[in-house]
Amino acid sequence: MRLENKVAIVTGGGSGIGEAICRSLALEGAHVVVADMNEQAARTVVGKLKSIGDRRHLAVRVDVRSEEQVEGIVKRTVEEFGRIDILCANAGVVTQNWTVDLTVEEWDLNMDVNAKGVFLCNKHVARQMIKQGGGGKIINTASMAGKTGFALEAHYSASKFAVIGFTMALADELAKYKINVNAICPGIVDTPMLKRGIQREAELRSVTPDRIVEKMVAFTPLGRLAKPTDITGLVIFLSSPDSDFMTGQAINVTGGIEKH
């Protein structure tokens, strides 16, 4: 196992891509802190992880927009496990709207969770990694929308562009500590969040949800939506020693949609 006894924090770990990341980390031998706004969802994931080997896992509630709460999960993780080796800053939200109708509240929600949340988690985990020594791995969840803007998601796209720029800058800052900082850029992934987005986009475009799905599949060269498990192989690679000479990258997992 490539991550034997490593300690990982996964934000947004209660469902979707985050849940799949938690499972993959556990299968590779890591102790996983499942952090989510929905504490019950986090507890459910931890319950599932208990069937995988003899690792210890922890469910915690966190709102990544709160610096106090982020500091709290870092402190609790160190109290429980002694260190932090891996951060998957995966918590995110997306809403859809035409920009001319976009509210300040929608803009702030996307920017606060997706961009500020990544900043706060990276900041406090990096402090701990520097303090403990020995390097570390930080993987931020961006999006193909962080490289190309899409109609109805200008605010979401702005937040994910921010994640990529932040990742690149932080990678330079932390390189001297042997802390690798990279971003993953998923494409269209079949998750509960996507299903909500499909419904909203269908309403805004006055078409059926099935029509939106058809367009998404047609837009993807590999001809299908991604599954959360399509993303996790890259996360494990970036968490492992195999990626020791990679930092500051924003890597696509889009089925061929995004090519730069």
Q: Cα–Cα–Cα angle for 164, 127, 168, nearest 5°?
A: 20
Active site residue 177: no
Which of 250, 240, 229, 248 shows the shortest CA–CA distance to 168?
248
- Alpha carbon 49 to its chain's center: 19
- Distance (Å, whole) CA 19 – CA 31: 14
- Distance (Å, whole) CA 164 – CA 183: 7
154-174 vs 117-132: helix crossing angle, rounded to 10: 10
Question: Which of 107, 156, 161, 166 is flagged as catalytic?
Answer: 156
HSE (CB half, 13 Å, CA atoms) of 10?
31
CA dist 176 → 54, 130, 171, 229, 236 (Å): 34, 10, 9, 32, 23
- Do 212 and 202 touch, CB atoms closer than 8 A? yes
User: What number of other Cβ atoms are within 10 A of residue 76's Cβ?
Assistant: 16
- Distance (Å, whole) CA 164 – CA 223: 26
> Which residues are the active-site residues?
156
